[in-house]
Amino acid sequence: MGRRNRKRNRDGTNAAKNGSGDGGNDGQKRPEHYEEILRENQGFNLYYKTQKVIPEDEWDNFIKTMATNLPVAFRITGFRAEADILRGIVKDVYLKNFAAARTDDGNLVIPKSLPWYPRELAWQVNLTRQMIRRDEVFAKLHHFLISETVCGAISRQEAVSMIPPLVLDVQPNHKVSRKRNQLFSRSRIQVSVIDELVDSFCSEVLDMCAAPGSKTTQLLEMLYAGDDTRMSEGMVVANDADNKRCYMLVTQAKRLNSPNLVITNHDASVLPKMTETGPNGEKVALKFDRVLCDVPCSGDGTMRKNVDVWKKWNGANGNNLHWLQFRIARRGLELLKPDGIMVYSTCSLNPIEDEAILCRLLKEYPDCLEIIDVADKVPGLRTVPGVTTWKPMSRDLKFYENPEEIPEKFSSQIRAAMFPPSPEEAAAFHLDRCMRILPHHQDTGGFFLAAIRKLKPLRSVNSGPKSGEDRSSEEVQEKEKPADVVADEDDKMTPPKKRRFFGFREDPFIYFNQEEPCWKTIKDFFGVEGLDHRLLLSRNREEKKKNLYLTCAAVKDFIDCNQENVKVINTGIKAFIRCDGKNSDCEFRLAQEVGVNELLRFLNKRVVKLQREDALAILRKHDLEDPLQNSALCDETQEALKQLSTGSVVFVYETKMKDVEKTVRLALVGWKGAASVRAYVAKSDRVHLLRLCGGDTSYFENLDIEAKFGNKSANGDSAGNATQEEQDALKVAAEEIPVAV
């Protein structure tokens, strides 16, 4: 999909140079001397001792912890009913057998669930990444984590990285107060299912600097709020300036199976003006209910994992990023709805990248913004409050008390706006509501975050009302003029509307306007009811559609309104795959990798209920060349299959699992042949489903472990015929591409 022209990868940004804060080495090999890098930097010590962001009596503990490797942390992805089962497996199978195991330092290995993360879904084990990769004792856990990460059931994510989405408090229904018919005309879709859905689920969230996307997945999960029995109508727009890193987002998105995600590729500080369909079918400015502003930063909170930051750290890094961070945050606030919340976060402990940005925003937009206290969203998390004083430092390790002291040669690097607020300002700004997480408090990385509520449309003290009227230009735009012709204060940095996009050239996103001929066949074959065909899109203009993708109505409206001026990289879950040449009445089959769970609720035909033994038998039969004969299945299943013509089917196994209150429904896409059946599931999904059914996964695990520790698997392929997508995901999972912070 999409014509990839790597040579033309010019997206007009210098994102990579800006420091992604997550190590930013984009999957390149770590330096050979990675382990030998000296974990010491005198400039760092001087800087942070002076800033006093670490309580003086804790310094020794802090610096000692910073020099140690980071423990392993992971999160069970939360909106699937399966999460509860997987949590049980994590606890009872994979984290139980460490009773006598010890770390390199001789400490006992103790897994613990993160107390501030809901439902015991996030875990930290005091094994380092190095130990878990090296030692066969831990290989089982390692391979479990990798295979579940590949299929999207687990997210390898630093503990501190899980915090911003929690405090952003994304709800499925921020827009519930809007009138039902307004939402109708907005999505321009008026069928019964959408009618019901948009009424109760509609929130729009922007993730400004999203790659590789672990926080994006959390935001998407929160749109469902634990209810996976219906399609969420919310939308997350996940953006990143780095074109290559946007494709890491695509990989993440595929694993999450969400029709609610759009991936865009822009410099977030000049994100274009976006529109949506208003109550009367007109275009209005799109403003978001929630914005996550997880900016590129110097990343000195990640030194326990990205050891090379020790070497690269210098006093100028933070100063150089301040202006970009400020502009990204300001654009985020411009795109936020009044009363909406934006979380600003960095994995840097540096006040110049942290409190100084918030001060600058609060100074520029007095009365429009408020830092809010969000400690109650993460009960049990230990944080220290934001600081109110700090001293900018130049590269040559000199500190400055006020802007007048800055020598000419550093005047472009250290700006007046980087200095701390006056005591009066500090009190009014509530910087104490900012949260800093210190590594030695909970054996984590370092992190900073603050939640800002937008009280009213932004009006800068620097521009002021132009003609004396007491209204912001943002209000003028929203009330009086069509959004697409006005450049107002909020949008003053918006580049011209007509855009020439660089980077990979994506195929277009073409929604079905009318009932396409292929849709009629699909509808009849699968007995589809209640799914509006206008939510389906294809990526080719030809009459003969290839794969069909499904999005929610909010995403459709976003694409319809913005495809011309926003560079969209990806959206939609693969729902139906063309399978010409197969002996079937329908030229499309269902797609397991993303669509089946979303689609199942609409299907009235081709769904075959399985007994556990049948489910296990089908899943174990991993060799597609040698399908399972129908005769191996129970009589009831054989009878159900007899009623069906050859072609795509969904096998469903419903069960009540131990410790899980509700019935869990596991679905796998398959093919019904003349006398046999097969499952069309990727290896990672197969292992995941086997695990959930309580089946034996050792065959697949042994393949991985043997490959890892020397004995190549039978086919010499440790990924066990992994698809390209699986291999990409595997890289993220195995942290060849660094895990997000």
Ligand X SMILES: C[S@@+](CC[C@H](N)C(=O)[O-])C[C@H]1O[C@@H](n2cnc3c(N)ncnc32)[C@H](O)[C@@H]1O
Residues noted as catalytic: 347
Is the CB of 189 or the CB of 222 nearer to ligand X?
Answer: 222
Which amino acid type is present at position 526?
F
Is the CB of 22 or the CB of 478 nearer to ligand X?
Answer: 22
Is the CB of 89 or the CB of 249 nearer to ligand X?
Answer: 249
What mask, x for binding ligand X by CB under 6 A, covers residues 507 to 546?
----------------------------------------
Which amino acid type is present at position 441?
H
215 is in an annotated binding site: yes
User: What does the alpha-carbon distance between residue 372 and residue 25 come to, in Å, rounded to a whole number?
Assistant: 34
334 binds ligand X per the rule CB under 6 A? no
Nearest distance in Å: CB 26, ligand X: 9
Nearest distance in Å: CB 296, ligand X: 4
The single residue among 11, 22, 353, 506 that binds ligand X, judged by CB under 6 A, is 22
268 binds ligand X per the rule CB under 6 A? yes
Contacts of 379 (CB under 8 A, 6+ apart): 115, 116
- Which tokens belong to 343? 């979380």
Q: Which stretch binds ligand X (CB under 6 A): 132-140, 265-273, 393-401, 665-673?
A: 265-273
Is the CB of 138 or the CB of 247 nearer to ligand X?
Answer: 247
- Which tokens belong to 397? 């390790």
Nearest distance in Å: CB 349, ligand X: 14
What's the angle, vertex CA 446, arms to CA 263 and CA 90, rounded to 5? 70
The single residue among 85, 222, 241, 569 that binds ligand X, judged by CB under 6 A, is 241
Is the CB of 46 or the CB of 270 nearer to ligand X?
Answer: 270
Q: Which stretch binds ligand X (CB under 6 A): 240-248, 254-262, 591-599, 626-634?
A: 240-248
User: What does the alpha-carbon distance between residue 665 and residue 482 come to, in Å, rounded to a whole number?
Assistant: 47
18 binds ligand X per the rule CB under 6 A? yes
Nearest distance in Å: CB 736, ligand X: 16
584 is in an annotated binding site: no
255 binds ligand X per the rule CB under 6 A? no
Axis-axis angle for helices 214-224, 243-256 (nearest 10):
40
CA–CA distance from 452 to each of 91, 262, 268, 290, 361 (Å)? Answer: 37, 24, 18, 10, 10
DSSP 226-289: T--SS----EEEEE-S-HHHHHHHHHHHHHHT-TTEEEE---GGGPPP-EEE-TTS-EEE--EE
CA-wise closest residue to 297 among 447, 451, 73: 447
210 is in an annotated binding site: yes
246 is in an annotated binding site: no
714 is in an annotated binding site: no
The single residue among 111, 234, 259, 296 that binds ligand X, judged by CB under 6 A, is 296
The single residue among 82, 240, 364, 474 that binds ligand X, judged by CB under 6 A, is 240
Residues from 443 through 472 that contact ligand X (CB under 6 A): none
User: What does the alpha-carbon distance between residue 653 and residue 610 come to, in Å, rounded to a whole number?
Assistant: 5
644 secondary structure, DSSP code: S
Q: Which stretch binds ligand X (CB under 6 A): 105-113, 236-244, 333-341, 511-519?
A: 236-244
DSSP 421-488: PPHHHHHHHTGGGSEEE-HHHHT---EEEEEEEE-S----TTT--TTS-SS-HHHHHHHHS-TTT---
214 is in an annotated binding site: yes
Is the CB of 211 or the CB of 434 nearer to ligand X?
Answer: 211
Is the CB of 610 or the CB of 740 nearer to ligand X?
Answer: 740
Q: Please give the residue whose beta carbon sits closest to ligand X in the complex.
A: 740
321 binds ligand X per the rule CB under 6 A? no
20 binds ligand X per the rule CB under 6 A? yes
**Is 351 exposed, middle or buried (CB count within 10 Å of its CB: 0-12, 13-18, 19+)?**
buried
Could you give the maximum distance between any two Cα atoms of the chain, in Å? 87
CA–CA distance from 536 to each of 10, 228, 372, 505, 547 (Å)? Answer: 31, 20, 40, 21, 10
Could you tell me where the beta strands, DSSP code E, fall in 335-427?
336-346, 369-372, 384-385
Axis-axis angle for helices 192-200, 553-562 (nearest 10):
90
245 binds ligand X per the rule CB under 6 A? yes
Is the CB of 255 or the CB of 556 nearer to ligand X?
Answer: 255
Nearest distance in Å: CB 327, ligand X: 8
Nearest distance in Å: CB 141, ligand X: 23
The single residue among 84, 148, 228, 294 that binds ligand X, judged by CB under 6 A, is 294
267 is in an annotated binding site: yes
Residues from 196 through 215 that contact ligand X (CB under 6 A): 209-215
342 binds ligand X per the rule CB under 6 A? no
Is the CB of 152 or the CB of 457 nearer to ligand X?
Answer: 152
Contacts of 526 (CB under 8 A, 6+ apart): 586, 590, 603, 604, 605, 606, 648
- Which tokens belong to 233? 């109508």
Nearest distance in Å: CB 735, ligand X: 13
Nearest distance in Å: CB 212, ligand X: 5
φ, ψ for residue 287, nearest 5 deg: -120, 145
User: What does the alpha-carbon distance between residue 54 and residue 43 come to, in Å, rounded to a whole number?
Assistant: 15
φ, ψ for residue 688, nearest 5 deg: -60, -50
The single residue among 11, 13, 329, 522 that binds ligand X, judged by CB under 6 A, is 13
530 is in an annotated binding site: no
Is the CB of 161 or the CB of 257 nearer to ligand X?
Answer: 161
Of all helices (H) and strands (E), which one includes residue 651?
Answer: strand 647-655
613 secondary structure, DSSP code: H
3-state secondary structure of 135: coil
253 binds ligand X per the rule CB under 6 A? no
The single residue among 11, 21, 361, 572 that binds ligand X, judged by CB under 6 A, is 21
Nearest distance in Å: CB 256, ligand X: 13
The single residue among 77, 155, 257, 269 that binds ligand X, judged by CB under 6 A, is 269
Question: Is the CA virtual torsion 423, 426, 432, 435 positive or negative?
Answer: negative
555 binds ligand X per the rule CB under 6 A? no
212 is in an annotated binding site: yes
Of all helices (H) and strands (E), which one includes residue 51?
Answer: helix 42-51
Residues from 387 through 446 that contact ligand X (CB under 6 A): none
Residues from 124 through 153 that contact ligand X (CB under 6 A): none
506 binds ligand X per the rule CB under 6 A? no
Is the CB of 288 or the CB of 651 nearer to ligand X?
Answer: 288
167 binds ligand X per the rule CB under 6 A? no
Q: Pairing state of beta strands 122-128 and 204-207?
A: unpaired
Find the length of the chain: 741
221 binds ligand X per the rule CB under 6 A? no
Known binding residues for S-adenosyl-L-methionine are: 209-215, 240, 267, 294
Residue numbers at the binding site for ligand X (CB under 6 A): 13, 15, 18, 20-22, 161, 209-215, 240-242, 245, 267-269, 294, 296, 324, 328, 740
Annotated binding site: 209-215, 240, 267, 294
